[in-house]
Chain A
């Protein structure tokens, strides 16, 4: 595989997976039908200060 194609696969996988997580968080998690809670900083969870 060429490097350009590798980067395309990497970026598209990342975007698809990120969209899947966001969609799950917005839909399934929000209406309370999922036992799994996903907390994403700055998205549906606050960022905490300090280590």
Chain B
């Protein structure tokens, strides 16, 4: 069931709210939580009931590992953790990477291994990471008691089950003890408003960017020639599509959780306004970056063993982050490219400090140029993320950077020769440019959801962001201006739900 579907908005969500608050009011908070777990399992099983068993098996086994870790002797706990991690990684590997590994081992050693690719259980990458984090936190003493109901809701809570944010137990489970037993108008006003913004972003900005993206990537995949203009328009449009799709989903998740009085962690903070790649990764998919930092980068040594080791750790964390997104070399390469860009960025900052020009005090025009450069670098890397194969990614990047000899010049000359073709291309370019300016303005100029709702604690943040004071006149307040504006946005978004359009991150 998708958040952007009529079944969810008009049937499932009202039913879940009514049944939770009725049960919580008359039978208590624990009974209400049990209703939320049941509703979440129904939500998950709606997609494919067979994979519900995998989720339940995973919850059962992880509950056993967690109890064993809490009660186990000191010398046993390490082995229990290893078995627990092995189980989770096996589950993820079996469903997500078996086919990929078999194909590559077969190719490498000239074997005839064949593993049929199977449909990926929805959200397996997200809930597996959540369980791994829980087991490690339990091992290091961060969890002293175990409650199956709390744990089940922590894993299955439907707003964040499918595509995050990846939550940590100490952020969510303490909130379960204070769940409201009656609906709170403040939570419904804030949560409903954030949900409306998220749905609008997904349906009206992300989905409407797709027509500029899909035909061009499909052409590159089929081996057709892609022009310089087409390739850049498609790449930019994909950057915006992915951002509004995923941040729209996250807003919806944060808004839905808020209806039940739960505050989820922040996942996006205007990443395209970043002036370098380091800042970009502090603002893009923040809950994943935090997981990679805490469970890969720091355990590998972080920055504690010199620059070379630090850069190697960064590269390893980003490569694994790339592989987490999907079992394909395009994702591994995408992660590697980001790792390389992070290394270059850290080296550049080191160099600047050495020559007495520390980063962070640049004039405005330098910051604008740095923001543009960062966006172009990120957009170029998204081509690897979007392309279905290394070949089609190469074709797109060749068209964008004119790597195929005089291809770009040739295209421009052809435009000049054919007047009709030129006019046609210009018309297309004008409309695409208008669309890119529109969605670009939202991404680059307008405040993000966290900034809009900052005074009402919309999401959990690890440390405060610096520029939350921007656009003070656009802060959300419970007034008639915002009520009318957001209800119209919600209506437009709901009227636009014409087709089943899954979130891009559902495939991970």
Contact = CB atoms under 8 A, between A and B. Distances in A.
Nearest to B210: A51
Interface stretch (B122-130, B155-163, B491-499): B491-499
B499 A9 contact: no
B216 to A, nearest CB: 16
Contact of B478 (A6, A18, A47): A6
B186 A3 contact: yes
A11 interface: yes
A42 B486 CA distance: 23
Nearest to A45: B498
Contacts of B185: 2-4, 6-7
B497 A1 contact: no
Contacts of A3: 185-186, 188-189, 478
B498 A48 contact: yes
A50 B499 contact: yes
B502 A51 contact: yes
Interface string A1-39: 111111101110110011001000000000000000011
A49 B500 CA distance: 6
Contacts of B110: none
A10 B486 contact: yes
B192 interface: yes
A17 B483 contact: no
A41 B487 CA distance: 19
A36 to B, nearest CB: 13
Contact of A41 (B192, B482, B498): B498
Contacts of B210: 51
A11 B189 contact: no
Contacts of A21: 491, 495
Residue in A6, A21, A42, A51 with the greatest tally of chain B CB atoms within 10 Å? A6
Interface string B462-482: 000000000000000111101
Nearest to B502: A51
Contacts of A6: 185, 189, 478-480, 482-483
B498 A1 contact: no
Contacts of B488: 13-14, 17
Interface residues of A, number: 26
Interface string B429-461: 000000000000000000000000000000000
A48 B5 CA distance: 12
Contact of A39 (B188, B189, B498, B502): B498
B202 to A, nearest CB: 12
A45 B502 CA distance: 20
Interface centre among A18, A50, A51 (most CB of B within 10 A): A51
A14 B491 contact: yes
Contacts of B186: 3
Contacts of A49: 499-500
A14 B154 CA distance: 33
A2 to B, nearest CB: 7
B421 interface: no
Contact of A17 (B192, B491, B498): B491
Contact of A51 (B483, B486, B501): B501
A6 to B, nearest CB: 4
A3 B480 CA distance: 11
B500 A10 contact: no
Contacts of A50: 499-500
B483 A10 contact: yes
B80 to A, nearest CB: 43
A39 B482 CA distance: 26
Interface string B66-99: 0000000000000000000000000000000000
Complex A-B, nearest 10 residue pairs according to Cβ-Cβ distance, in ascending order: A6-B478, A3-B185, A9-B483, A14-B487, A13-B487, A10-B483, A48-B499, A3-B189, A4-B185, A41-B498
Given A6-B189, A6-B479, A7-B483, 14 more contacts: A1-B477, A3-B185, A6-B483, A7-B189, A7-B192, A9-B487, A10-B487, A13-B483, A13-B488, A40-B495, A41-B6, A41-B495, A45-B498, A47-B500
